[in-house]
Chains A and B, each alone.
Chain A
Amino acid sequence: MLKTALRNLLAHKARQIMTLLAVCLGVAFVSGTLVFADSAAEAHRAAASKNFADIAVSVSAKAPPPGAAANQKSSALDDALVRKLGGVPGVADVRPEVDGSAALNAADGTPLRVKMGANRASGYIPGKDGKDSRYPLAEGRAPADSGELAVDSGTAAAGHFSIGDTITLATDGPVMTKRLVGIVTTKDTRVTAGGTLALFDKATAQKLFSSPGHYTGIDLSATPGTDQSELSRRVTGVLPADRAEATTGAGQAAQQGILVNTLTRGYEKLPLVFAGVSLFIGSFLIINTFTMLVSRRTREIALLRAIGATRRQVSRSVLLEALLVGLVASAAGFLLGLGIASVLPDILSTDGNTLPQGPLVIGPRSVAAALGVGVGVTVLAAWLPSRRAAKVAPVEAMRTTEQPPSAKRSRIRAGVGLALLVVGAGLLVSLSGAKDASEKNLQNAMFGCALLVAALIVLAPVLASPVIRLTGRITGRFGITGHLAQRNALRDPRRTAATAATLLISTALVAGLAVIGNSTGQALDRQAAAGLGADYLISSRSDTTGVDPAAVRRVADTPGVRTAGAVTDSTLFTGGGVRRISGVDPSTVQDLMKLDFVSGSAKDLGPGRIAVSSTIARKNGVTTGGRLNVRLGRNQEFTKYTVVGVYKDNPVAHDALGARTEVAKNSYLPGSVQRVLVRTDDGAVSKTTEDRLRTAVGNNPLLKVQDREQFVQEAAGTMGDLLTLMYGMLAIGVVIGALGIMNTLAMSVAERTREIGALRALGMDRSGIRRMIRLEAVTVAAFGTLIGLAGGLFGAWAVGSLANGAMPQYSLALPWGTLLLVCLLSLVIGALAAAVPARRAAALSPLEAVAEA
């Protein structure tokens, strides 16, 4: 039987190439996305993880007890302690460290990869051999005084630094400049995954991140055979109990694991959705191809049966053939998938927003999925129709060339499809009344969308007829070729629908997300526009860093600036939770923030008097004139404040407003300024102004200078990430869709050689044949796109009304440009996909019309 299967495989090369291609692409898509998902998750993980592999115990300073003097912070970790720890039995090596963070400017003056947690800084602490084993030097020498700096090779490459350059950087306050003297390599994944590393000499680092003579931590490695927890107990014995503590490396790794898990969970979920859809599309492509081949296979099986093969022999031969095809194609597809996974991060990374980088991770899940799709689905797709074929009487199967789908089956299909549609749409519509975007509502929305897509796919063959008749009005303008193209597309609605399915899904996804993204973006825009009166916003990246007061004055004196208002950000503890309060100057705040007061005003802000947003007012049950018991910033005491005004929720003003002097007194960096809102003369926004403002704040990499548009974009940032991923998905979906169309058409052409030959014999020229095939492809593509568009828009509308509950400014805004682009793209794809089959069809000789069947 193996022989028959093998011979069968080789006998129908053209057909097998189609199948191989389909399986190969399906597997490539699935394994590509899964490997990408795993690699991306691993890279995100690496970006957030410190390696504890050779750390047995780390010693860190205990948080000072409340009320203690601030300068006592890390005084326990000094050189004396390091020496003492070196004497503890079982300790192999003592590695003190001074770690912190520092943001750098690239050579062109723009902030370099500035991101929370990605900008490491450390002291270069030479060991016994005069070198720091964590940072082997690649070039130059180690920093030796406060004017010198070393960076790692990745940072140097990204920032275009070379030895001798002067580099601008900041740790938490004003900018510093240092000369680059060395380039090191590091294995710290937090840096290699797309962060930066700055190395200072020991004294400078201690001054910046600790206090002179003190370290931020001490890592110990153990001699072989020493138990971590035993060592930890011994180390704890020599530590000053109230000021330092020891943790085992394993314990820290576990703790970090939990933290990293919560940080990266989102990154794992999204590519998995991606992979889920790809699994669906990949399986679909394979089943689709086999379904198309079924009529020919049916005849073949009938012939085998007629000459005496048993049913068992027939199905075994089919299974073997499918198994061989599946294995070969899966192997090829998996390799192709690795290719996709390795280029995907580059494609999806934009300049300002790089995905963390790391090696490809090939997990067992990817391999299992690839084999499951490649072999499992292939065998199933080949076996099911053959079983049906084997049941039919041989003579009957040989007689019928094409079995039209029975009316009963299409009625069942319509029924099932409609039921799915009603349930899915009903679920979505019922959600549109929901007031908030809670987890449960979102899950229901996702489920509803999935049902909707499933319904569309089930219904697609039923919808094919009316939709294609509609598009036929356009293709009909191309004369008989268009007419024939339309009829051919309608000839087998199931095949047309299956071919269009990939484009349908991709279009639905992209259209839906583009609409939601656009609407959200515009809502955020409106929100920000509603809240932000200023033209420029200068802000620090956290509450513990600030804009230095001198820089605020320089900003105010910058030419073109009319008003510059400093804002101090801090926290506000109400009974119900932690809120954010903005300390502002009551006289200029109305000019810089567009505050819409429900009652009261900002004029009366002052000591003991604050204004709150309407949400806070509602939650705490206060109104203007009422009193609110809150705790401000570092202040330990709850104090009663008078509410002088209630304003509509405002993303720029945050949850509450206070006088700046009042807020700054209790902020984390007393007297600091976190934001500067700038109004220019006549609201002018230009590159020159932006550059002047950057210069005014000393090009501090910790500060962001954004015009209104950039601020809005940042607010919509997460949505942007999602869209980028989805566009990547569309790209793959489109490629698969195009190849699917190509596959189907090539098969159709092969099946219709006689017909095409007859057309040629009757006087249709080659260009007419080409046009006919192309128009058919475009018709199929247009069908998929139209249905997908309809589904996507409906889904977006329904999910959007959910968002409406959470975002009052939300309203459905159609991104006409994007939608038009999607439509055009699909038509172009259709035409391109047809190129090869069209050429093959046009090359057919009119003699095909009289060839023996």
Chain B
Amino acid sequence: MSVVPSTPRAQHTAPGIAAATLDLSKVYGSGDTRVVALDRVSIDFREGEFTAIMGPSGCGKSTLMHCAAGLDSPSSGSVRVGTTELSTLGDRQLTRLRRDRIGFIFQAFNLLPTLTALENITLPLTIAGRRPDQRWLDRVVAMVGLSERLGHRPAQLSGGQQQRVAVARALAAQPAIIFGDEPTGNLDSRAGAEVLGFLRDSVRELGQTVVMVTHDPVAAGYADRVVFLSDGRLVDEMTAPTPDRVLDLMKSLDSRSHTC
């Protein structure tokens, strides 16, 4: 098994880096049941870049994202968002960081069923007690094509529409970085393509930074860069991916992990 090591640097968040991990490890359990989910992973997420994290099931890609987003705490190593070192933050500060600087898109949408689409979109801002920037909001809403459905409840929207609300929610607060956890996992291919299109547009047109976990080579094809994880380690990286090239690499990774 070959590893592509990233050289350790003294200052691992250089300008232009939205978030980064350094020697990040996550271990579950102990003794016989000890499972290493992440094994000294170091990776940078550059500003204005759309990164996809790929790998087979159980390779640790979701754990990597959770740790990078401040949802989960690493066993060792460091995570930075901008210049903030997450390991030094308490729950309250972490919560504030998530609220103000991170956007989320979940596989299961996770819209609040009791709130309307618009209320869901502005929810992070409302929690923070901030007024939404109306022009920005209009632009985001127009981009995801929800202008007609802002008063609807999630139950009255299709899955694709719900995920578009979730994308708008992530964008509305203008976070430093957006994390997507299999954002197209629950969608059919047409709706999935729409959502991925919006994510790519937000990077291209709005300069947003997006990191997305996926196992779908087609989804990864929308990204600027794809990183591959296997058994908790960073094993490969690809820029300007296409679905075919991603698929090929996946296959080779698969055969390599089977032979070892």
Q: How far is the CB of A240 from chain B (nearest CB, A)?
A: 91
* A763 & B112 in contact (Cβ 8 Å cutoff): no
Question: How far does the alpha carbon of A276 sit from the alpha carbon of B69 in the complex, in Å?
Answer: 57
Are B95 and A763 in contact, with the CB atoms below 8 A? Answer: yes
Of residues 754 through 779 on chain A, the ones whose CB sits less than 8 Å from some CB of chain B are 754-755, 757-766, 768
Q: Which residues of B contact A484 (CB under 8 A)?
A: 112, 114-115
- Structural contact, B98 and A480, CB atoms closer than 8 A: no
Are A850 and B114 closer than 8 Å at their CB atoms?
Answer: no
List, in ascending order, chain A residues with CB within 8 A of B124's CB: 762-763
Quick one: CB contact mask for B81-103 with A, threshold 8 Å, 1 for yes? 00000000001100110111000
Cβ of A820 < 8 Å from any Cβ of B? no
| Chain B window 114-139, contacts with chain A (Cβ cutoff 8 Å), 1 for yes, 0 for no | 11000000011011110000000000
**Does any Cβ of B come within 8 Å of A70's Cβ?**
no
For chain B, give the interface size range: 20 to 34
Q: Which of A803-853 contact B (CB under 8 A)?
A: 845-847, 849-850, 853
**Residues of B contacting A764 with CB < 8 Å?**
95, 99, 127
* CB proximity of B150 to chain A, nearest CB, Å: 17
Is there an interface contact between B98 and A479, defined as CB atoms closer than 8 Å?
A: no
| Given A759-B112, A761-B104, A847 and B71 contact (CB-CB distance below 8 Å) | yes
Q: Is B163 an interface position by the 8 A CB rule?
A: no
- Asked if B254 CB lies within 8 Å of chain A CBs, one says no
CA of A307 to CA of B121, assembled, Å: 41
- Known contacts A758-B106, A766-B91; A850/B96 CB under 8 A: no
Contact A762 B71 (CB under 8 A): no
Interface pair B62/A487, CB less than 8 Å apart: no
CA distance A262 to B110 in the complex (A): 67
B107→A850 contact, CB < 8 A: yes
Would B104 and A762 count as touching, CB distance under 8 A?
yes
User: Is A768 in contact with B127, judged by CB distance below 8 angstroms?
Assistant: yes
B248 at the binding interface (Cβ < 8 Å): no
Query: From B181, which residue of chain A is reached at the shortest CB distance?
Result: A850
How many Å lie between the Cα of A757 and that of B112 in the bound state?
11
A491 at the interface (CB under 8 A from B): yes
Whether A480 contacts B123 by the Cβ 8 Å rule is: yes
Contacts of A488 in B (CB 8 A): 114
Q: How far is the CB of A477 from chain B (nearest CB, A)?
A: 13
B225 contacts chain A at the CB level, 8 A cutoff: no
- B95 contacts A760, CB within 8 Å? yes
A320: interface (CB < 8 Å): no
Residues in B168-185 with C-beta less than 8 Å from chain A: 169, 181
A490 within 8 A of B: yes
Q: Are B114's CB and A758's CB within 8 A? A: no
Question: Once the chains bind, are A491 and B110 in contact (CB under 8 Å)?
Answer: no
Q: Given contacts A758-B106, A846-B98, A853-B108, are A491 and B113 in contact (CB under 8 A)? A: yes
Q: Report the Cα distance A725→B95, complex, angstroms.
A: 50
| With A484-B114, A491-B114, A763-B95: A850-B66 Cβ-Cβ less than 8 Å | yes
Give complex CA distance A766, B92 in Å.
8
Chain B residues with Cβ under 8 A from A762's Cβ? 98-99, 104, 123-124, 127, 169
Asked if A480 and B114 make an inter-chain contact with CB atoms under 8 angstroms apart, the answer reads: no
Residues in A neighbouring B106, C-beta threshold 8 A: 758, 761, 849-850
- Which secondary structure characterizes the binding site on chain A? helix
B72 at the interface (CB under 8 A from A): yes
Size band of the interface chain A makes with B: 20 to 34
Task: Contact check, B66 vs A763: say whether CB atoms are below 8 A apart.
Answer: no
B residues less than 8 Å from A758 (CB atoms): 104, 106, 110, 112
Q: Given the complex of chains A and B, what is the CA–CA distance between A490 and B153 in angstroms?
A: 14
CB distance from B92 to the nearest CB of A (A): 6
Contact yes or no, B108 A763, CB < 8 A: no
**A contact residues around B91 at 8 Å (CB):** 765-766
Cα-based distance from A850 to B65 in the complex (angstroms): 11
Answer whether A765 and B114 are a contact pair too, CB < 8 Å, given A480-B127, A853-B108.
no
Give B128 Cβ to nearest chain A Cβ, in Å.
Answer: 7
A847 with B115: CB separation less than 8 A: no
C-alpha gap A759/B62 in the complex (Å): 19
In the complex, what residues of B have CB within 8 A of residue A480's CB? 123, 126-127
Partner of B108, one of A490, A754, A846: A754
From B153, which residue of chain A is reached at the shortest CB distance?
A487
- Min Cβ gap B91→A in Å is 7
Pairwise interchain contact B114-A763, C-beta atoms closer than 8 A: no
**A763–B110 CB distance below 8 A:** no
Shortest beta-carbon distance from A44 to chain B in Å: 54
Q: A281 to B112: give the CA distance in the assembly, Å.
A: 33
- B95 in complex: contacting residue of A491, A757, A765, A847, CB < 8 Å: A765
Output the least CB separation between A478 and chain B (Å).
Answer: 12
Assess the B114–A487 pair: CB atoms within 8 A. yes
- Residues of chain A within 8 A (CB-CB) of B128 are 763
* Interchain CA distance A604-B86 in the complex, whole Å: 101
Contact B96 A765 (CB under 8 A): yes
Q: How far is the CA of A853 from the CA of B123 in the complex (A)?
A: 23
The A380-428 residues at the B interface (CB cut-off 8 A) are none
Q: Which residues of A contact B66 (CB under 8 A)?
A: 847, 850
CB distance from A846 to the nearest CB of B (A): 5
| A486 nearest in chain B by CB position | B114
Q: Is the CB of A761 within 8 A of B127?
A: no
Contacts of A487 in B (CB 8 A): 112, 114-115
Q: Which residue of A lies closest to B71 (CB)?
A: A846
> Which of A759, A847, A850, A853 has the most chain B CB within a 10 Å cutoff?
A850
Rounded to whole Å, the gap between the CB of A744 and the closest CB of chain B is 16
Asked whether, in the complex, the Cβ of A847 is within 8 Å of the Cβ of B72, the reply is yes
Bound CA–CA A632/B113 (angstroms)? 82
Q: Can you list 28 contacts pairing A with B, beta carbon distance less than 8 Å?
A: A480-B127, A484-B112, A484-B114, A487-B114, A487-B115, A490-B114, A491-B113, A491-B114, A757-B110, A758-B104, A758-B110, A759-B112, A761-B71, A761-B98, A761-B104, A761-B106, A762-B169, A763-B95, A763-B96, A764-B99, A764-B127, A765-B95, A766-B91, A768-B127, A847-B66, A849-B110, A850-B66, A850-B181
Given contacts A758-B106, A847-B71, A853-B108, 20 further A-B contacts (CB under 8 A): A479-B129, A480-B126, A487-B115, A490-B114, A491-B113, A758-B104, A762-B98, A762-B127, A763-B96, A763-B98, A763-B100, A764-B99, A764-B127, A765-B95, A765-B96, A849-B106, A850-B66, A850-B71, A850-B107, A850-B108
Binding site for B on A (CB under 8 A): 479-480, 484, 487-488, 490-491, 754-755, 757-766, 768, 845-847, 849-850, 853
Q: Which 4 A-B pairs have the closest CB atoms?
A: A763-B99, A487-B114, A758-B110, A765-B95
